Amino acid sequence: MSSSKKYKWFFIATMLICGIAVGLYFLKMDRKKKEAAATRYKAFGIYMPENYAIHGIDVSKYQEFIHWSGVKNMQVKNIKLGFAFIKATEGLSRKDEQFTRNWKKANEAGMTCGAYHFFIAGKSGKAQANFFIRNVKLGSGNLPPVLDIEHLYNSNAAALKKELKIFLNTLEAHYKVKPIIYTYAHFYTNYLNEGFDDYPLWIAHYFEPQGPRINKQWQFWQHSERGKVNGIKANVDFNVFNGDSADFKQLLLP
């Protein structure tokens, strides 16, 4: 092999080694950054984001029979669960099988509770709102009602936004408070990025150690769907509130 060819292969090998070393360095730095932003709690079974004082969960029939006293009393180091969003209704006529019991028992246990409606695109926003209102009585100290929108189905974006507005306006007129919008980060960016800025936002974005990647102020962040909680056999969605206790209290119904 000529000296020029040897030099060429030496140069390529050196560049490959340098590239691997740089990649490993940044991978290590990224891991350290994530470890600094979130800490794994064995009792919860997940990494919990740091720098948030108020943590909570959301549940539906899929968590089955919940012992709410166990949820309320669970504490790991300085973390307690301060709120729970509970699924109430879906579409035009489906009430969550566990809602009545969950709502009663969670409130009795002293949890700060909110109720949410799973919105079906392509169906009447007014009818869905009225169905939610018939099934959910909110009072002082409860969280605002929640619109959960996750799928476009066969609807188009313009039609969806129109019906969502009708739903939100109907709930606001009845409960005298702006509803919260729950959705995934990509869904909000693709379909709700205009016309919904005035509503409190609850964003689902997993595997992000510091917060959801979205260019919008948010109030709640669903950061995991694999949490463990005393009193609940199944996995649970975990959330944090983006603010302090005074901000949280201001959000509650008077």
Catalytic-role residue among 35, 50, 150, 225 = 150
Q: Which two tokens stand for residue 150?
A: 């996750």
What CA–CA distances, in Å, run from 134 to 70, 117, 137, 170, 175? 30, 12, 8, 12, 12
What CA–CA distances, in Å, run from 59 to 63, 184, 201, 237, 239? 6, 17, 18, 7, 11
In 3D space, the residue among 213, 111, 191, 212 whose CA is nearest the CA of residue 147 turns out to be 191
Tens digit of pLDDT at every position of the chain (254 positions)? 555 555 555 555 555 664 554 444 333 334 434 444 678 899 999 999 988 999 999 999 999 999 999 999 999 999 999 999 999 999 999 999 999 999 999 999 999 999 999 999 999 999 999 999 999 999 999 999 999 999 999 889 999 999 999 999 999 999 999 999 999 999 999 999 889 999 999 999 998 878 899 989 999 999 999 999 999 999 999 999 999 999 999 999 99
Active site residue 150: yes
CATH architecture of the region 42-251: Alpha-Beta Barrel (3.20)
CB atoms within 10 A of CB 163: 22
What CA–CA distances, in Å, run from 22 to 4, 15, 27, 121? 27, 10, 9, 47
Q: Read off the DSSP letter of residue 154.
A: T
Q: Read off the DSSP letter of residue 207.
A: S
Q: Which two tokens stand for residue 224?
A: 């995991």
Which sign does the torsion angle of CA 180, 221, 207, 59 carry?
Answer: negative
Distance CA 209, CA 179 (A): 27
pLDDT in tens, 115-141: 999 999 999 999 999 999 999 999 999
H, E, C per residue of 76-120: ECCEEEEEEEEEEEECCCEECCCHHHHHHHHHHCCCEEEEEEECC
SS3 225: strand
